Structure 1
Amino acid sequence: MVSEKFRRQLRQEAQTWRDRGLIDSSTYAQLAEHYQFAEIDSAARNRFIAILMALGGVLMGLGAIAFATAHWDTWPRAYRSMILVSLFVGVNGTGFYLWRATTLPKAYRSLGQGLLILGALILGANMMLMSQMFYESGKVWELLLIWGLGVLMMAFSLRLKSLGVLAILLIETGYWLGAFDRSSWETLAWIQWVIRHMSLVAASLFIPLAYWCRSRTIFSLGAIAMATSLAVAILRWQGWLVEVAFVLPPALLWGYSDGIWRLRLPQKSSSFSSSERFQATSRSLAVCFLAVLFYSLSFNRWNYIERPDLSLQQWQQNLPVLLDVGILGSIAILGWIQFRFHPQSWKSIQIKAVNTGLITCFLMTAGCVTYWHLSVDRIPIAIAIVFNIMLFCLAIALIRDGLTLGSRRTFWGGLLFLVLGIASRMLEYNTGLILKSLVFVSCGVGVTIAGLWFERNEKKLKHRSKIELTREEAS
């Protein structure tokens, strides 16, 4: 969609062209009709009116809040409850009317969307005030979880991206606060279930919401919530199944596809990439997960990681995690089976260094060396070296892909992890100051030269990558 700024500049230039005789009046009239020059001034006026209305509403709201605060303790409980419910219904009703009104200008619809977000915030305030009025004490993370689930229902019903993002942030904040709270299990049974199985909650609620709202932002937040909560749930075994925590989340993200998520294997004759809406995003998250994982495990701290002997009670407390591992592991297996049905997807191996084969090697190596260290024979120095090698290989592969495809984000991401790995090793080990200074200066000079060269040749690299992709597809 063309922005209003572009339309305003185009109208100014078109008037100049008409006055200079570069275009005739009929051409200018066609441009004015196509880009709706007549509505530019009215749109600005309507937006100004909407801003004034919003400012007036905020001031009236502040006045109402101050008045209610002055008389809050003197009003009966039923009266206060009625005011809170009326405020919630009134703000959301007004916001829904303005948001759905197609006859009103766009500025009013934006104001309606803002009122809906305000209504979601009022929901949390109402929940907190209601609990205080009825003397129901609880924890902050419980309020955030229930509040987030309420906003999530609003996002599903209204199909609003902003409400979906707010709901995920609230739920994830409540989860992270409750997951490390020692008294988190002394609460309602369904809240306990949500905390224990947050990865399944994210998979069954956040991912469908991304499709419903057609939002990559919601998908990214939902996938991150699913992968991190799954890893945290597995790590609660205190050293047991740690290999699964390292391998399953990135395998699930890399093997993700729309067809597999609907539990339907793609047909051999179907197009592999035509219906994949979020696969590229999911694979980027898998690469980021592996990069952060390799960097975190590259430090020489493996002497402190071991498998303790868990009591029978600890085993019983951790058993619910197997439900998440079983369901999401089955989905990951179905996702990786798809590579058999689509051999043309392996063509990207000649173009991209970060491909399915490389990810497979990384996952198998990470799982095998971790299992060997914890279950067979302790190899603290060797396993740290292995994770360092995988970190540098991934960084070099990302730099190579960035140069090959002309992707700025991929190039700078690989360069960041490469320099971060080198600098961390220099700071971790007892190296001399002269060597550290030489390494840091070399990294600084190398990053500067590589960055300047890449930014200068970015367009050429993109053009060359398009030609190579076209030839690969034709062959």
Structure 2
Amino acid sequence: MAVSFGINRHISRWESKGIIDSDTAARLRSDVETSRSGFGLGGILAVLGAVLLGAAILSLIAANWEVMPRLVRLVLIVAVIWAGYLGGAWRVSRGERMLGEAFYLIAAITFGAGIALVGQMYHLAGEPAEAVLLWVAGVMIAAPLLRSEILASGSVVLAGLFLFLALDDGGRFGYSWLLPILLLLCAGLAWYTGARAARHLIAILAIVYVFVLRIDLDEAAIFWPAALVGGGLFLVDALRHPLLERWTGWSKAVGAYGFFTLLLVLIFLQFDEFEGTVPGEVMAGFLILACSVAGLSLSGYRNPAVRWIAYSVFSFEVIYLAFKTIGTMIGTAGFFLSAGVLVLLLAVFVMRMERRLKQRAQLTEAAP
């Protein structure tokens, strides 16, 4: 909602300056309104209300669980699930998509809680990770049937919950090979349902998975394929942006996540592999700085996410390397003086880089 308001303000400014005519301005405003995702304040409140209502239903069932006959318990759980899915489908058919998604969420929450309550009722043996796997399966089946974005996103969240529960159980549920399968299934759901939030969640969970696997197995070689894939995705976006956009429709985000993964791997290696050896840390730091500058040069002029990732990492590394090499030789006053000078120099660097990137972007747009 705030984004569309800002765009409309710019359209009005362009119209007042004569950059665009009134017909073009009207078409732009119409396009902004029709392409808006709809997940504004109303959507947020609908999802929040669904979570609270689901929690209330489950609390009510749990509070009276012992006094209910088993058949009544099962019927009640199934009734809430079906009411959520059918009620959501009804509201979506009436054009109230976010309200329908909220009903879907209530059903999905009830399904997960029902697994736990039925297991408790019949004293079924099992681990939390197994229950979450069943929960994921149920939500994944419902998501394509209902073409629900929120269920597709919920599948990714539940896959992340499975990862951490499997770690608590010693990893004996095979998360190392099972989670990539879940991520591929979630990616298919995100593509089919058009859930953009699910795409971001998948990318974040994939990055978390790589680092969890590296720490859990204590195998440094795991990082190299991740760095190669991340760097490769970034380069494809930087050098073949139209091709990647045609394949994925999400080129800028793919490039940004790849760039972020590459830099995270290098930072982790700097603090893990070279910890305690100043020359090694400095060499790794210069490699990180070089990658940051390369990111700015290759993609920063048109990809804001890459630009700000590069700025953040570059600033962090410059300050860290400065105080790693000379920090022990200066006192408190010297620390603040050096920090102030470094921050001012970084500000000058960012302002000049922004000016150059803006000029390059304008030249690129003007080119035929």
- TM-score (norm: length of structure 1): 0.57
**2:209 aligned residue (229, 235, 251):** 229
Q: Which amino acid aligns with 1:295?
A: I
Alignment of 1:127-146 (within 5 A): 127-136=115-124, 138-146=126-134
Distance 2:255 2:317 in 1: 22
Decide whether the 8 Å contact of 1:253 with 1:286 is kept in 2: yes
Alignment of 1:357-376 (within 5 A): none
- How many residues in Structure 1 have an aligned counterpart in Structure 2? 327
Which residue is 1:298 aligned to?
A: 270
- Pair 1:281 & 2:274 matched: no
TM-superposition CA deviations, 1:182-218 (whole Å, max 9, x none): 3x42xxxxxx24x131353145312222322234443
Secondary structure at 1:129 match in 2: helix
TM-superposition CA deviations, 1:324-353 (whole Å, max 9, x none): xxxxxxxxxxxxxxxxxxxxxxxxxxxxxx
Decide whether the 8 Å contact of 1:395 with 1:417 is kept in 2: yes
Distance 2:334 2:69 in 1: 74
**2:89 aligned residue (81, 85, 96):** 96
Cα gap change, 1:153 to 1:228, in 2 (>3 Å): same
Distance 2:132 2:227 in 1: 28
Which residue is 1:249 aligned to?
A: 226
Shift of 1:397: 2.2
Distance 2:203 2:353 in 1: 31
Secondary structure at 1:298 match in 2: helix
Shift of 1:137: 5.2
Cα gap change, 1:143 to 1:284, in 2 (>3 Å): same
Which residue is 1:398 aligned to?
A: 295
Q: Which amino acid aligns with 2:227?
A: P
- TM-score (norm: length of structure 2): 0.72
Shift of 1:442: 2.0
Which residue is 1:213 aligned to?
A: 193
Structure 1 stretches lacking a partner, 5+ long: 10-22, 36-46, 186-191, 258-270, 305-379
Alignment of 1:129-168 (within 5 A): 129-136=117-124, 138-168=126-156
Q: Which amino acid aligns with 1:174?
A: F
Q: Which amino acid aligns with 2:159?
A: I
Secondary structure at 2:138 match in 1: helix
Shift of 1:77: 1.3
Structure 2 stretches lacking a partner, 5+ long: 10-21, 31-40, 235-241
Decide whether the 8 Å contact of 1:231 with 1:249 is kept in 2: no
Q: Which amino acid aligns with 1:98?
A: R
Which residue is 2:101 aligned to?
A: 113
TM-superposition CA deviations, 1:227-259 (whole Å, max 9, x none): 5435544665534xx23x1221232345469xx
Distance 2:307 2:136 in 1: 37
TM-superposition CA deviations, 1:22-56 (whole Å, max 9, x none): x9xxx9xxx8xx96xxxxxxxxxxx99xx99x98x
Shift of 1:410: 3.0
Decide whether the 8 Å contact of 1:95 with 1:115 is kept in 2: yes
Decide whether the 8 Å contact of 2:58 with 2:110 is kept in 1: no
Which residue is 2:80 aligned to?
A: 87
Secondary structure at 2:271 match in 1: coil
Identity of aligned residues (%): 16
Shift of 1:154: 1.8
Secondary structure at 2:199 match in 1: helix
- Pair 1:439 & 2:335 matched: no
Distance 1:64 1:166 in 2: 19
**2:305 aligned residue (409, 420, 424):** 409
Decide whether the 8 Å contact of 2:259 with 2:306 is kept in 1: no
Decide whether the 8 Å contact of 1:198 with 1:226 is kept in 2: no
Distance 1:95 1:126 in 2: 19
Shift of 1:116: 0.8
Cα gap change, 1:211 to 1:256, in 2 (>3 Å): farther
Distance 2:340 2:63 in 1: 63
Distance 1:143 1:382 in 2: 49
Secondary structure at 2:247 match in 1: coil
Secondary structure at 2:246 match in 1: coil
Decide whether the 8 Å contact of 2:230 with 2:262 is kept in 1: no
Q: Which amino acid aligns with 1:432?
A: I
Secondary structure at 1:292 match in 2: helix
